[in-house]
Structure 1
Amino acid sequence: MSSPKRPADIYLRFLQLTEALRGLPSLPALDPLEERILAIVARAMQDEERLSVRDMMAKKELGAPATLHSRLTSMREKGWIMLSDTEDTRRKQIELTQAALLHFDKLSKCLLQAAKQN
């Protein structure tokens, strides 16, 4: 492959590298809505913001609360997120699992590799 000529080539190379990650035995795949939820949880953790199940269900752009609840349950079963207790036992905090954090580490390495090949 010749060296990238446009900035978009870096992103396209990144996508190619991340496709290779999908074949590795790690966590089960996410559907597109679950990927959006994962990104929201990751950004909240990065910003050191608390994100409860109730907060997530209030995000109308993600769909109906029942749909979100089923996706959160699915993501927990797949090992991407965990729910932890808060001061109010009725509220659960959404957090990334260690495996999800390792996945983001791998994505970061793909991005750095794609940029380095420019």
Structure 2
Amino acid sequence: MTAPKRPADIYMRFLQMADALRGLPSLPPLDPLEERILAIVARASQEEQRLSVRDMMGKKELGAPATVHSRLTSMREKGWLVLADTEDTRRKQVELTNEALKYFDKLSKCMVKAANMS
């Protein structure tokens, strides 16, 4: 394999490795909306922000609240997300599972590997 000739080549290589990673059987695949939800939850976690189910359902860019709720349910069933209790038992905190965190660890390794190939 030849070394990337420009920064875009590094990103394209990362995308190839990320696609291969998504094909591994560790967790069931996500649809595009679920991937967006996963990214939002991951960013909130990284920034140590609380993110409730209601917060997620209120994000207009994700579509109708019922759609977001069904995707959150699906992602819980697939093992990507968990709902943690808060001081208010009516509110649930949306959090990544350990498996989801491991997935992000693997993506990070793909990014580093793609960058080091230049």
**Counterpart in the other structure of 1:71:** 71
Alignment of 1:1-118 (within 5 A): 1-118=1-118
User: Offset at 1:31?
Assistant: 0.2
Give the SS at the match of 1:61: helix
The whole-number CA distance in structure 2 between the counterparts of 1:22 and 1:49 is: 27
Q: TM-score, normalised by structure 2?
A: 0.98
Distance in 2 between residues matched to 1:31 and 1:25, nearest whole Å: 15
Quote the offset at 1:23 in angstroms: 2.5
TM-score, normalising length: structure 1: 0.98
Is the deviation greater in 3-12 or in 19-28? 19-28
CA distance in 2, matches of 1:30, 1:22: 9
Q: Deviations over 1:38-83 (max 9, x none)?
A: 0000000000000000011110110000000000000000000000
Divergent runs of 4+, >3 A: none
Stretches of structure 2 lacking an aligned partner (at least 5 in a row): none
Q: Which amino acid letter does the alignment assign opposite residue 48 of structure 2?
A: E
**One-letter amino acid of the counterpart of residue 40, structure 2:** I
Distance in structure 2 (CA, Å) of the matches to 1:93 and 1:4: 42
- Identity of counterpart residues, as a percentage? 78
SS of structure 2 residue aligned to 1:109 = helix
Deviation by residue 1:62-112 (Cα, 9 ceiling, x = unmatched): 000000000000000000000011011110000000000000000000000
